[in-house]
Every structure is written in structure tokens, then in C-alpha cells.
């Protein structure tokens, strides 16, 4: 019984060390830029800015993506904790930027999670040049709503 208790303690301490050590990639400070838009009374915030800066490298050519240059607003998608609405910017026929116009932020936890997730989803979409992005663990509803809203915007960019 003492060996089991001692082993459990060592395993637990090791796990804590791995996740809490300085420089760990899972700490919030290393997850990227945040969008600090909030509303005074809670609820859903609007953002005129971008969730993440556009990538510095050139995007794929227009012939590959088939998008028309311009700014396209996606439909509102339900993320359970609030709506998500994005705006896609197409330059040179490629997805250049995605801005969040609406996102769930009615609760402190929702705001914190979405501030971490929005830049990740934006960069993933720009890299993929589509709405087919990998969902972010812990933000499944926001990830799914992002995909739906962005897909709507990109359909408009193809027509």
C-alpha cells in the first residue's frame, strides 16, 4: 500500500512538473496574440480588428484558390455559448485574413478561451486556404462555428 501511494505521488508530481514548468508551450502567454474586444454588459462582443495579423509569406496564387478579391462576411453560426461571425479578406485570389465580428464572451471563461483560440483558427484557415481547419481542443463549439461561418464567407468569394 505504501509503494502504491509513493508511486502515485511521484507520477502526479512528474505530471505537474511537465505542465507547470517555465517555457512550457501550453502556457497562455505562448499561445499567440489575443483579441481584447469585450462588451460592457457581457454577451457577445463585436470586433473591428483582426484576430491575428496576416501571414508574412505570400499566399497561394488565385488560380489555386479560385476566390475573388474582396471582403466577405460569413453567416452567424451558433457556438452554444454565443454566436460566431467572421469576415474573410481575399487578396490576390487567396485568403489573406479572417476577422471575428462576433464571438462568445458572455462569461470570463468563454472570453479567455476564445482569446486564445481565435488567432489559432485564423492562422490555420489562412494556411489551409479554406474553412477546413483542425478544431481546437477545449473550444470545440467555437471551432465548429468558425468553420461554418468561414465556409459561408468563402462560398460568397467563389461566386
The tens digit of pLDDT for each residue in 45-90 reads 444 444 444 444 444 444 456 899 999 999 999 999 999 999 999 9
Strand pairing class (44-46; 77-78): unpaired
Kindly provide the b/e burial profile for residues 84-95, where b requires at least 16 CB atoms within 10 angstroms of the residue's own CB: bbbbbbbeebbb
Report the CATH number of the 31-158 domain: 3.90.1010.20
pLDDT (0 to 100) of residue 65 = 65
Q: Which residues of 107-146 are buried (b: 16+ CB within 10 A; e: fewer)?
A: eeebbebbbbbbbbbbbbbbeebbbebebbeebebbbbbb
98, β-bridge pairs: 88
> What is the reported pLDDT for 36?
35
Residues of the chain with pLDDT under 70: 2-65
Amino acid at each position: 500500500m505504501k509503494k502504491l501511494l509513493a508511486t502515485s505521488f511521484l507520477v502526479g508530481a512528474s505530471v505537474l512538473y511537465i505542465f507547470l514548468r517555465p517555457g512550457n508551450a501550453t502556457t497562455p502567454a505562448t499561445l499567440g496574440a489575443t483579441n481584447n474586444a469585450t462588451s460592457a454588459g457581457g454577451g457577445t462582443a463585436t470586433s473591428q480588428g483582426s484576430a491575428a495579423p496576416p501571414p508574412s509569406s505570400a499566399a497561394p496564387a488565385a488560380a489555386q484558390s479560385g476566390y475573388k478579391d474582396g471582403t466577405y462576411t460569413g453567416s452567424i453560426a451558433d457556438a452554444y455559448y454565443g454566436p460566431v461571425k467572421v469576415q474573410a479578406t481575399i487578396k490576390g485570389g487567396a485568403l489573406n485574413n479572417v476577422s471575428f465580428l462576433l464571438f462568445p464572451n458572455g462569461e470570463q471563461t468563454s472570453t479567455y478561451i476564445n482569446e486564445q483560440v481565435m488567432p489559432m483558427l485564423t492562422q490555420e484557415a489562412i494556411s489551409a486556404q479554406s474553412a477546413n481547419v483542425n478544431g481546437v481542443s477545449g473550444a470545440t463549439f467555437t471551432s465548429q462555428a468558425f468553420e461554418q461561418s468561414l465556409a459561408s464567407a468563402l462560398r460568397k468569394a467563389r461566386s
